[in-house]
Structure 1
Amino acid sequence: MHFLKDRGFFLPSSEITPRAGYEGRRDLLKLLAGGAAGATLATWAGRAAFAQATRPGKLAALPGARSAVAGAVTMEKTTSYADVTSYNNFYEFGTDKSDPGRNAHTLKTRPWTVAIEGEVKKPRVLDIDELLKLSPMEERVYRLRCVEGWSMVIPWVGYSLAELIKRVEPTGNAKYVEFVTLADAKTMPHVGSRVLDWPYVEGLRMDEAMHPLALLAFGLYGEVLPNANGAPVRAVVPWKYGFKSGKSIVKIRFVEKEPRTSWVKAGPQEYGFYSNVNPNVDHPRWSQATERRIGEDGLFQKKRATLMFNGYEAQVGQLYAGMDLKKFF
């Protein structure tokens, strides 16, 4: 078992204000000069947030309508595409943050199928194109918080995981949903390394998986997912630490007992099954009270305070009412 320290990250380009950003601020000044604040200001803020998410034109387009799900769109500045696609964890391609961006070009995302198994009335194997057409695409701007203490704001494209779950009709025995990532040593050079037990497995309680914010994602920044970010389909669970959002999914299993997930197997004292973002529960080797937003790495930039449930407490807090969140971490 190997644990790597965060080596930090700096990209000068991420400090540059995008053209859409300064043009948007110029529009705001015009509105304020004319006295049109209030409701107009809220409209501008929403438009500016989505202007920041303009697709970079590097991969096939995958547009989505703005989501109406409560809490699905944060007004925070989005993290640059360059940062999102070059700094992340995907251990199948290496344990350094830059490894997925360098190595994931070997991943083959066509053909691709996802098997639906276990306690469902309608088990099936779905082609990726069938999954893409299952429900209308939405764009959702979610915060992503890593257990290592860094965070991003990413415009994802996909639809609620609940849309898939309802169609396969889980039985009364289905208490949890388990996600299994592809483990192909031919296209994933670090599969077989001793850092984890392969394939990578994650899971959610059924009510968590059915929550409207739990996303089945196929893209980001208006385009299909880059390989390094979990192409062609991944989960995004914004109120949990990032490792809970399984990438490059090939199986979704509905099971009665809590899945033994990869990081729980690797370090049960450090990585609990729930892994909700909680500033009051420290990792055994570091505090979770603050976070470093990627793209805010200036010399005098202060860390941000970590928000309970990553800022989604109003939407998901009721899922854990009465639970001891230090015991069920």
Structure 2
Amino acid sequence: MRKLTLIITIALSIVVAAVATAQVRGHGRLQGIVTDKATGKPVAGAKVTVSAADQETQPIVTKTDSRGHWSALGLVGGTWNIDIVADGYDTTRGSASVSEMTMSPLIKTAMAPAVQQEQQPEMAPVANPIIPEEAVNAINAGQELLKVKAGDTVTGADNSQHAATADEVKANAAQAVTQFEKAISLLPTDKEEAQKVRLQLMGVMSRAYYNAGDLPKAISTLEQLNAADPSDPNAGARKLLLVNLYLENHDLEKGRTLLEQVPAGTVTDPTIYMNIGILFLNQQKPADALKYFSDAVKLDAKNAAAYYYRGLAEVQLKKVADARTDFQQVIALSPDSSEARDSKQMLDALSHS
């Protein structure tokens, strides 16, 4: 299963001024940077759609500039969904909390080149007399539905061609779920060969549930798969994926507990540590947050955002000297970033405290 991109952000109330923005809704703002996961270079021209999760309001559509930067202004407080689409990349989906009183941190999104997804192992073709033909057909139909990505050229019912939208991709995933649920109900339960197919299908189903927007079902399916096949060589990667899903579902304790069970060396991206740390900051637990931000720094000593968030935790813990050191490191590593700008403000505030 391809890696699911996770975007989590917060509204931190630490010496960060509110930004008065204009026109349509409220005074909240979201902004982010989109980069190529493989090269770290900015992705220009990516389409970013920001839509209210629990309100009937027109979505905001913008594009990244030459630096990969985007922003959405005039947001009311609450949860906003973020979809990012770019030619040649897997679509990313996530959400962010907006406060009209404080500025939200910069959202960093690393997009995986679409070619990487094609290299990901899919479910092997089913050609076994034990598996009913109806189940085979349903599995194949579901996998075909999942192959369509936002931006792909597709043919409509009237034979006209258009670029697939994020909504169409989501609808396809929901149809794929229906096919997979049908197939799994037809698999024999007393044959080893059928059990292997069942386990493969559960992995693909979890991805389909996620793409269809059913996060609880994606989680429960992956939980069942991990419990049924703990010795699989991919179990470590699946656990890490499940940690990300727990965090996206705001289930911090489950995410942290499972992360401790992930084999050493499985975590190669500091984002997961930073997400846990941010959630702890949201819960006013800076000591717990500090541990995970430090883990992120250990994993990637050149990640300016990790130093920035660790500095915020240290401020709350009154570790002023450590906070100064981390904010200075942010400026040294990424002098033109929003974190560097905020770090300068923090250093100025600390010098007068």
Higher radius of gyration, 1 or 2: 2
Same fold (TM over 0.5): no
Q: TM-score, normalized by length of structure 1?
A: 0.25
Give the structure-2-normalised TM-score: 0.24
When you count strand as a share of all residues, which structure comes out higher?
1
Which one has more relative contact order, counting CA pairs under 8 Å at least 6 apart?
1
Higher helix proportion, which one?
A: 2
